[in-house]
Amino acid sequence: MSLKEARRVYVMEGLIAGTFTVRQAAEFLGLSERQVKRLNGAMRKEGVAALAHKNRGRKPKHATSQEVRERVVDLVMGPLSNTSCQQVAELLDERYGIHMSAKTIRRILGAADIPIRYAKKPRRRRKSRERMPRAGLLVQCDASPYDWLEARGPRLNLHGAVDDATSKILALYFRPTEDALGYFQVLLQTLQNHGIPVGWYSDRHTIFFSPKKDKLALEEELAGQTVPLTQFGQALHELRITHIAARSPEAKGRIERLWETLQSRLVVELRLAGISTIEEANAFLPGFIEKFNSQFAEEPADQEPAFRPCPQPAVLEQILSFKEERNASRGSSISYCGFSYQLIDSKGSVALLKPQGKVVVLTHLDGSLSALYDGQGYSLKQFPRLDRTPPQDSEQAPGQELEPSKQKPPSEDHYWRKARIKYPKSAADCYYDKRAFRAVYAQR
């Protein structure tokens, strides 16, 4: 007797004894009152046996006969050996006139203790790739979300880059989340400390590769691009770094194994240093990288590095920036994030722009703004704000205050106040809301 049947017997005996009412018994058993009354009548006539299912012990009408089961086993052990269940079902139907599903065949073979081929999908076989012979030929990058500060601070994402030839850490940078700014900082450290690598190996995150494969501009198609470049992808393209997408975590195993090592070593180092903020953690990383590389870095097969010289600081600042395109107005100005700007050249003069001319606004990693027009760099000057104070009524007496507006301002949780801007704005955080952004850049 199963537990469900024992519970049913107990409740129905209590109903007959008067301990439970019909409604209570129905609630306990999850049945309708009509069904409980039917069981009560049957139990009074037949006893406890009336509660058992009437099909107990009966063989299902549609069950596979023993002869057919033995026939299937003989065929699988003979001419159909070493065949998947799906193919066995197809061959039985085609050659022997036995109509049976692959799941039924699986159950028959399992009951007969016959090994089933392709019962589980075999693991994909991989082979280890040898290291690159020279440092700088390939750089692997990734980010690791982890409780790096433990209970002392927030949960952070560590962005990093490692050289494939030497397993040397090239750059590390903490961010609250995995974002483009973190990878830009990693790329900046790599370029400043080592130079321009030949290849950059990353996963297929949308930070690196755009999912909009069918939305290319005409200029991009003429340039031979197959997918639109992301902000980070554009920076690698300008630096002439080959961008390679990893198809699995195992493909970039160097940096995946690095995270396992850092999650045991770096956490302890941060704990001993008493670090509890992201600013302190980022300031601690350069010394840790130097100590780690001196202990764990390996010698490459070829001692000649493949890194190319880093660009000049002005060029590097322009490349490592977030770029947004704007159209010039008839008044030689552009609109950006709700404000109007004029382009100022190196002499302090306002640049004259062709109406609907293309202007590229650059948001640098430190949060500053600049612009490119016809290949020339310009600074941006914001228009002064207009005084929108409503004029006083001529009939109003001097010194008399205007009647306040009856329209209520939107509440703090109104969706207008929660509006997000999709492009980054400063090194402190890639995505401020509009009010915070305007507070930062209102005076620029």
- Per-residue pLDDT of 340-393, as tens digits, reads 899 999 888 988 999 999 999 999 998 899 999 998 899 998 877 555 555 555
pLDDT given for residue 143 in this prediction: 95
**Residue 299, H or E segment:** none
State the CB neighbour count (10 A cutoff) for residue 344: 16
pLDDT band at 197 (very low <50, low <70, confident <90, very high): very high
More confident residue, 223 or 252: 252
Q: Of 3-7, 140-144, 177-181, 316-320, where does mean pLDDT reach its minimum?
A: 3-7
Fold of 139-296: Nucleotidyltransferase; domain 5 (3.30.420)
What average pLDDT does range 270-295 have in this prediction? 94
Between CA 386 and CA 104 the distance in angstroms is 79
Q: Is a pLDDT exceeding 90 seen at residue 319?
A: yes
Question: How many alpha carbons fall within 13 Å on the CB side of residue 408?
Answer: 4
How many angstroms separate the CA atoms of 267 and 275, rounded? 10
CA distance 356 to 330: 8
pTM: 0.61
Nearest alpha-carbon partner for 280 in 270, 272, 267: 270
Asked if 88 and 129 count as a contact pair (C-beta separation under 8 A), the reply is no
Percent of the chain topping pLDDT 90: 42
Count the Cβ atoms, other than its own, within 10 Å of residue 291.
Answer: 12
The torsion defined by the Cα of 62, 63, 68 and 69, in degrees rounded to 10, comes to 160
Q: What is the pLDDT of residues 201-210, one digit of tens each?
A: 999 899 998 8
Mean pLDDT of all residues in the chain? Answer: 83
pLDDT band at 170 (very low <50, low <70, confident <90, very high): very high
Residue 423, pLDDT above cutoff 70: no
How do the domains of the chain map onto residue ranges?
3-51, 67-111, 139-296, 320-387+410-444
Task: Pick 240 or 19 by higher pLDDT.
Answer: 240
Tokens 């016809």 sit at which residue?
Answer: 374
